[in-house]
Amino acid sequence: MPLLRATVRRVLMAVPLLFVISVLSFVLVSLTPGDTAQAILGTQATQEQYEALRSSLGLDLPLYEQYWRWLSHAVTGDLGSSLFSGETVTNAILTRLPVTLSLMFGALLVSLVAGVALGVFSAVRGGVLGRLVDGIALVGFALPGFWVGAMLIVVFAVALRWLPPTGYVDFAESPQDWLRSLVLPVFALALSGIAALAKQTRESMLDVLNSEYIRMARANGVKYRSIVFVNALKNASVRVVTILGLQAVALLGGTVVVENVFALPGLGSLAVNSTAQHDLPVIQGIVVYFTILVVVINLLVDLAYTWLNPKVRTS
């Protein structure tokens, strides 16, 4: 029951958050250079045609009135239509959402498995593995995702021809080609996550393994493997969950860059194109969906804390 109340509280707190972020995004996009009507008509249109299109799109209204018109429809679930294609914003987002979610979940899975494995074994073995984790962390934090993606394309797609350089294949069309199209962008996204999780897991494991109750467990004859994977790893998992939650939120921004590098038809590439065209309804819709994803991620992290440590109570 307390968990249910905390969950409802988190959901209710998301409402003002959505409002504030939608206002900020609306204002910031309106301040960027460019004009939607001019982009649609091109340079050959007359001033009369330009003014007529601005009026039909509602772009001649004050900014606060434009926002109010969008908000009054958004609260009913209608996010409007693209000013360029006429496609509904909801349909435009939902057709691209699976691409972005595939990238995010793939990168999180790779980061979790590789990062935790490296962190645990480096904490247990030490020596060379410890220095290797430090090296991976340094490289992972220093290299930007777009550079890593470009290098992966050069090596594995152009030179070795093992994987496709760009594009996305739907899972329903070919599961094998779907997986091959995600390998390079997922690894480009996951590198920083692997570095962060490996570093934090190693430090957390070392803290737990050097604690008094672990030494008592070893003195009482408890198997070392059980100590590592049951006692130490469980206690270290709270920090791992924290880093994983932060990584999931960071991936929302990372997908914007990586999707454009690998020409993937996800929300990131849609956001870039819509911003360049001043397509406000699409941008606002993407902001709403991204904010909802952040709220869901934070809620899952809170639930994971409670599951890993029943003494934790969300406030």
> Contact, 3 vs 306, CB < 8 A?
yes
Nearest to 261, CA basis, from 146, 158, 103: 146
Digit-by-digit pLDDT tens for the chain (315 residues) are 556 676 777 777 778 888 888 888 888 877 777 777 777 777 777 788 888 888 887 878 888 888 888 888 888 888 888 888 888 999 999 999 999 999 999 999 998 888 888 888 887 777 676 677 777 777 777 777 788 888 899 999 888 889 998 888 888 888 899 999 999 999 988 888 888 888 888 888 887 777 777 777 777 777 777 777 776 777 777 778 888 888 888 888 888 888 888 989 988 888 888 888 788 888 888 988 888 888 888 888 877 777 766 555 544
Domain ranges of the chain: 89-308
The model carries a pTM of 0.81
> Contact, 142 vs 224, CB < 8 A?
no
Structure tokens belonging to residue 12: 């209710």
Q: Which helix (H) or strand (E) holds 237?
A: helix 233-261
- 3-state secondary structure at position 112: helix
User: Where does 42-88 have alpha helices with state H?
Assistant: 47-57, 63-74
CA-CA-CA-CA torsion sign (266, 271, 273, 279)? positive
Tell me, what's the pLDDT at 91?
92
- 3-state secondary structure at position 108: helix
Tell me, what's the pLDDT at 309?
64
Give CATH for domain 89-308. 1.10.3720.10
Tell me, what's the pLDDT at 303?
76
